[in-house]
A and B are shown apart, each in its own frame.
Chain A
């Protein structure tokens, strides 16, 4: 069974631009959640999607948005990029819930904003 796949692995963007990250969950998993990982803040929850609906949202500004498609693939979009958005963005998939069972992480997308 293929694992969680995130694309691209690395991105360099300029302040003010927008970016879209993609996450393909494990086949059969309906829940996809997104996290921002930075050295100082650890792993911070962005949002979770289940069957194309956002069920949970963390404390991030509206510049961070996402969506999920009918095949459970998910995208995350960040608009008007700021230097502080530089981070590793991880997605995780699980069969049904955000974290009521094991969640499987992707390798992440390393975003650098210059």
Chain B
């Protein structure tokens, strides 16, 4: 089955700096890669996603890149703000009915 590895598990950055979270996946048939943000005590919420036919996608301060050959994808947050502090999960989906596998999460702390 699919295996998704996520690094780092914790990340501390100064406010205004950039943060990068990386994920690798094992199933070359995976075709949809969402990123979810989960603030403390709250539900996970989609922040950005990318499909296998696209190499990069941006939404304001957030971007995701996908390298299908190397089977890895990354989340980039620029100009970080304290409200970016949360746990971020990557995921990969594959199969006819889109079975999903999540990474183990990255706890991001933005220091004011």
Contact = CB atoms under 8 A, between A and B. Distances in A.
A97 B104 CA distance: 22
A97 B97 contact: yes
B102 A44 contact: yes
Contacts of A107: 42-43
B11 to A, nearest CB: 15
Contact of B93 (A35, A44, A98): A98
A35 B100 CA distance: 10
B27 to A, nearest CB: 13
Contacts of A43: 44, 89, 91, 102, 105
A42 B104 contact: yes
B18 interface: no
Contact of B103 (A42, A103, A108): A42
Interface in B56-78: none
Given A90-B43, A102-B34, A105-B43, A45 B100 contact: yes
A69 interface: no
B98 interface: yes
A72 B91 CA distance: 24
A55 B49 contact: no
A25 interface: no
Interface in A29-79: 33, 35, 41-45, 48, 50, 55-56, 59
Given A90-B43, A108-B43, A45 B101 contact: yes
B46 interface: yes
A99 B45 contact: no
Contacts of A98: 93, 97-100
A105 B98 contact: no
A65 to B, nearest CB: 18
25 contacts: A35-B102, A41-B104, A42-B102, A42-B103, A43-B44, A43-B102, A45-B99, A55-B97, A56-B95, A56-B97, A56-B98, A56-B99, A90-B44, A98-B97, A98-B100, A99-B32, A99-B91, A100-B98, A102-B49, A103-B46, A105-B36, A105-B43, A105-B44, A107-B43, A108-B43
